[in-house]
Chain A
Amino acid sequence: MTDALLSVRNLRVEFPTRRGVLTAIDDVSFDIMPGEVLGVVGESGAGKSLTGAAIIGLLEPPGRIAGGEIMLKGQRIDNLGAEAMRRIRGKRIGMVFQDPLTSLNPLYTVAQQLIETIRTHADISEAEARKRAVALLDRVGIPAAARRIDDYPHHFSGGMRQRVVIALALCAEPELVIADEPTTALDVSVQSQIIDLIKEICAERGAAVMLITHDMGVIAETADRVAVLYSGRVAEIGPVTQVITAPEHPYTVGLMGSIPTLTQDHARLVAIPGAMPRLNAIPQGCAFNPRCERAFDRCFAARPEPLPRGDRRQVACWLYDAVAPAAEEKANV
Chain B
Amino acid sequence: MSDALLKVENLTRYFDVSKPWLNRMLEREDKQFLTAVADVNFEIKRGETFALVGESGSGKSTIAKMVVGLLGASDGTIEFDGHKMTGTAGAEMRDLRRRFQMIFQDPFASLNPRWRVGDIIAEPIHTFGLLKGAEVSNRVGELLDTVGLSAKDAEKFPHEFSGGQRQRIAIARALSSKPEFIVCDEPTSALDVSVQAQILNLMKDLQDEMGLTYLFISHDLSVVRHMANRIGVLYLGRLVEVADGKRLFSEPQHPYTRMLLDAVPDLALSGRRRKPVEGEIPNPISPPPGCAFHPRCPLVMPRCKVEAPVQVPTPTGRAACFALEKQPA
Chain A interface (Cβ < 8 Å from any Cβ of B): 43-44, 157, 159-160, 187-193, 195-196, 214-218, 220-222, 240-241, 244-245, 254-255, 257-263, 265-266, 268-273, 275-276
Contacts and interface: CB of A to CB of B under 8 A. Distances in A.
B200 A217 contact: no
Nearest to B250: A263
A269 B260 contact: no
Contacts of A159: 280
A328 B52 CA distance: 53
User: Which residue, of A196, A218, A220, has the highest number of chain B Cβ atoms within 10 A?
Assistant: A220
User: Which residue, of A188, A214, A258, has the highest number of chain B Cβ atoms within 10 A?
Assistant: A188
A217 B266 contact: yes
10 contacts: A190-B280, A192-B262, A192-B277, A216-B193, A254-B194, A259-B197, A259-B222, A260-B223, A271-B194, A275-B194
B198 interface: yes
Contacts of B280: 157, 159-160, 189-190
Interface string B278-289: 001100000000
A195 to B, nearest CB: 7
Contact of B260 (A189, A217, A221): A189
A261 B268 contact: yes
**7 smallest A-B Cβ distances: which pairs?**
A217-B265, A258-B197, A260-B226, A43-B192, A187-B55, A269-B197, A271-B197
Given A43-B194, A188-B221, A192-B263, A269 B249 contact: no
Contact of A221 (B259, B265, B281): B265
Interface string B168-196: 00000000000000000000000011111
A255 B267 CA distance: 12
Contacts of B162: 275
Q: Is chain B's binding surface mostly helix, strand, loop or mixed?
A: helix
Interface of B: 55-56, 162-165, 192-198, 200-201, 204, 219, 221-223, 225-226, 246, 249, 259-269, 274, 276-277, 280-281
A148 to B, nearest CB: 14
Nearest to A193: B277
A189 B277 contact: yes
Contacts of A276: 192
A270 B262 CA distance: 26
Nearest to A196: B276
Given A271-B197, A275-B162, A261 B222 contact: yes
Contact of B226 (A192, A215, A266, A270): A266
B222 A262 contact: yes
A139 to B, nearest CB: 15
Contacts of A272: 194, 197-198
A161 B104 CA distance: 29
User: Which residue, of B56, B194, B200, has the highest number of chain A Cβ atoms within 10 A?
Assistant: B194
A260 B225 CA distance: 8
B194 A262 contact: no
A259 B260 contact: no
Contacts of B163: 275
B150 to A, nearest CB: 14
Given A192-B263, A260-B223, A262-B261, 19 more contacts: A43-B194, A187-B55, A188-B260, A189-B259, A189-B280, A190-B280, A192-B264, A192-B265, A192-B277, A214-B193, A216-B193, A217-B222, A217-B267, A222-B265, A258-B193, A261-B268, A270-B197, A271-B198, A275-B163
A187 B281 CA distance: 10
Contacts of B269: 220, 240-241, 244-245
A265 B192 contact: no
Contacts of B268: 220, 261-263
Contacts of A218: 265
Nearest to B202: A271
A144 to B, nearest CB: 14
Contacts of B249: 262-263
User: Which residue, of A157, A262, A268, A272, has the highest number of chain B Cβ atoms within 10 A?
Assistant: A262
Nearest to B283: A157
B277 A220 contact: no
Nearest to A244: B269
B267 to A, nearest CB: 5
Contact of A262 (B55, B56, B225, B281): B225
A192 B221 CA distance: 14
Contacts of B281: 187, 189
A275 B198 CA distance: 10
A159 B263 CA distance: 14
Nearest to A254: B194
Nearest to A278: B162
Given A188-B221, A189-B259, A192-B274, A215 B192 contact: no
